[in-house]
Structure 1
Amino acid sequence: MRENQLSEKIHHLTEVDGRSLFEIRWSSDSDALVQPLIDSGADVLRAEGTAGVWEFRLQFRDRVRVATFRESCLDSNIQMQLNALYNPVVPVNHTDSDLTDEQYDIIETAYRQGYWEIPQQITLDELAESIGISTDTASKRLRHGLTSLMDASFQPE
């Protein structure tokens, strides 16, 4: 690995099973790339790239931090594409209904970002954008998810 204009120093720490661990001291020129990671509190699980294109696997504490990361990238004119979004935690009450993970995620995200507040803190378009789906898909997930919740809530016991 060669040092470049984004890094001041790269130090090879160890290698095990063909995998290497490096310590990188970033230069101030890398702020546009590194600052969104710092601002959002992202954990970098994997990073592969070339001088022009990078692919990251990132972990965020919540969807709000994903949105923060995305906004920071846009503000820094960093082009990004979200390829997949995964929620590895199954909520406790989630199993009481027939909600899909995607339906649960959009309902929870809508709640946490103020979609249900009066006045609304986020529009449906903004909600869809924050989780990387179309407005039409967001609308359908919300409707189907709420229908599932209502079905579970109003079923005779």
Structure 2
Amino acid sequence: MTTVAQLVVPTEDVMLSETFAALPELDVRVKTVAADGPHQTMPLVWITGASKRQIRNALSDDSSIKEFTSLLEHDASEWLYRLEYTADLEALFSAVFTNNGTILDAECSADAWTFHLLFSDRGLLSEAIPQLEDHGLQIEITRMIGADRNTDLGAMTLTEAQENAIREAYERGYYDVPRQLSLEELAAELDVSHQALSERLRRANKVLASEQFDKLESDGLVQ
């Protein structure tokens, strides 16, 4: 059966741990993970939380980054980069692709990378995990879901950042009536951009609503 898995890997096992160490307030959002030929995969990431010069210096000093290219700029405070990693990180992506897996999306924090992977068969996922661990990667499967052609893949997974965002929004009164603070105020308190927080809450709400509807449907309460 087609399977979507959420894998968490320590940042130090993937890339950017040295960049986060140099700039702890950095906010990194993975726009996409794009293939550039059969053997190289380039993460495209939005980075904010420091000046462009500071980000450039941190990436230059990061031993996990082979090359980086600045592609776009937003409001002179957020930049889109294409990252090329060093050769030893190829193991993570090759283990996925050689087992006919697909990277749906990814998210990065100072502590961990979270990957959402799709495999045409659960057995192929089982083949990929030992290959990753053989390369010294610490893999934690935090979620695994069967999928079919009617499944909305974009609404299946709740990332760590989305979970944290919706928890903070709930605890700080963003969902109260009346609201205790605005989205802009919440973003400022969490030290993330308004755009990033809005996207995280939107995705998180969609995931939770989908899960609740599926539960009601399985219980026979809706048809």
- Common topology (TM > 0.5): no
Structure with a larger share of its residues in helix: 1
Tell which has more relative contact order, 1 or 2 (C-alpha 8 A, sep 6+): 2
From the two aligned structures, give the one with the greater strand fraction: 2
- The structure with the larger Rg is 1
TM tier, smaller: 0.3 to 0.5
What is the TM-score when the length of structure 2 is the normalising length?
0.33
